[in-house]
Chains A and B, each alone.
Chain A
Amino acid sequence: MAHIELGNDLPGIRGLMAFRPETEGALNALAEILLRDNNNSLSRGERELIGTYVSYLNDCFFCQNVHGALAGHYLGCDIHQIDAIKADFNAADLSEKMKALLAIAGSVQKGGKLVTSEQVAAAREAGATDVEIHDAVLIAAAFCMFNRYVDGLGTTAPLDRQFYINRAPQRAEDGYLVLR
């Protein structure tokens, strides 16, 4: 049971958006540009992975499963590999650039001021552009919003993780602007 009467049974953020369509549009448009826009040198999989990692750090079950399944879908890995990345991305088979961006995202999750010049320099040295550093910070920050929205209102969502894996291909096709 969510903390407020949503008037629908939709899972996680979907139920909140149906309750308050006035803010739904702006939130989905933000997710779409951040995570799916083609004019971006970070792949969709890499961007979803940043969202997944931050949602994991924020202990948001719904977001880390939705976005973990999408990251797996785009990156061609299963949920166990995604779990392993969340638990220790430094040990994972990721580019040095992605590792540096995930380190920045991890700092953003704790607080903006925790991002250090050294972390930014390391990302740059690994080949990250200013736009990529910007996007990593903004995606991480945005998930600090989405996660709090979803859990702050006590939304419910399926506990079976396969639910999210099954839905990922359709969401990857539809994006965040077409909700069905």
Chain B
Amino acid sequence: MAHINVPEGVPGIRSLVMFRPETGKYLYDLAQELLRGESPLSQADRELIAAYVSKRNDCFFCMSSHAAAARCLYGDDEAIVDDVLSDMKRSAISDKLKALLHIAGKVQVLGKEVTSADIDAAKKEGASDKEIHDTVLIAAAFCMFNRYVDGLASLTPTDPEAYKEMGKRMVAGYNLPPRV
């Protein structure tokens, strides 16, 4: 049971933005810009950052849904997602993406945890300032989304199948659901 009177049977953030579309609109706009807008990072990599941070924040809903979106976007390379979520450092991703995920992990703890050495390591692997910026902002944004979803105890489906459809829908874009 959610902490507030959101529409019944609707999962996660969807139930919250249906309860309060006035703020929901801007949350979805932000998600759309961060995850689907123009960026030097691929949409798949951005969804992976989102899933990685959500996992670290122990937000099952956001982790599962963004992991599902990332799997769709990686296509044949979808195994990357579960590799990263189980052991990022040993996964078969580029050293640049590892350095960016390392920064995202620091952001998850707190902004000040990110050190110049973390940034230098990412730059050494070829990360641009814009890629570092987008990584930090996506990680920070999921520290918001995760807290929003769990702070109001929204419905979290436990069946992995439920997230497959969600992932497909998310790939198409973040659109505010119709008002109840």
- A167–B116 alpha-carbon span in the complex (Å): 30
Q: How many residues of chain B have a CB within 8 Å of chain A?
A: 49
Sample of 20 more A-B contacts, CB < 8 Å, known A29-B29, A111-B150, A113-B151: A16-B137, A23-B33, A25-B33, A30-B30, A37-B22, A39-B22, A58-B111, A112-B152, A115-B150, A115-B151, A115-B152, A133-B4, A134-B152, A138-B20, A141-B147, A141-B151, A145-B144, A149-B111, A149-B136, A153-B111
Q: With CB as the reference atom, state the residue of chain B lying closest to A144.
A: B143
Interface centre among A144, A148, A152 (most CB of B within 10 A): A152
- How does the 8 Å CB contact mask read for A28-56 relative to B, with 1 for contact and 0 for none? 01100110010100000000000000000
Q: How many residues of chain A have a CB within 8 Å of chain B?
A: 50
Report whether B151 and A137 are in contact in the complex, using a CB–CB cutoff of 8 Å: yes
* Given A148-B136, A148-B140: A3 and B119 interface contact (C-beta under 8 Å): yes
- A154–B58 alpha-carbon span in the complex (Å): 26
* Given A26-B29, A145-B143: A137 and B152 interface contact (C-beta under 8 Å): yes
- A144–B137 alpha-carbon span in the complex (Å): 11
Q: Is the interface of A mostly helix, strand, loop or mixed?
A: helix
Report whether B111 and A3 are in contact in the complex, using a CB–CB cutoff of 8 Å: no
Chain A residues in 8 Å Cβ range of B16? 134
Could you tell me which residues of chain A, from 131 to 159, have a CB within 8 Å of some CB in chain B? 131, 133-135, 137-138, 140-142, 144-154
Could you tell me which residues of chain B, from 2 to 36, have a CB within 8 Å of some CB in chain A? 3-5, 16, 19-20, 22-23, 26-27, 29-30, 33-34
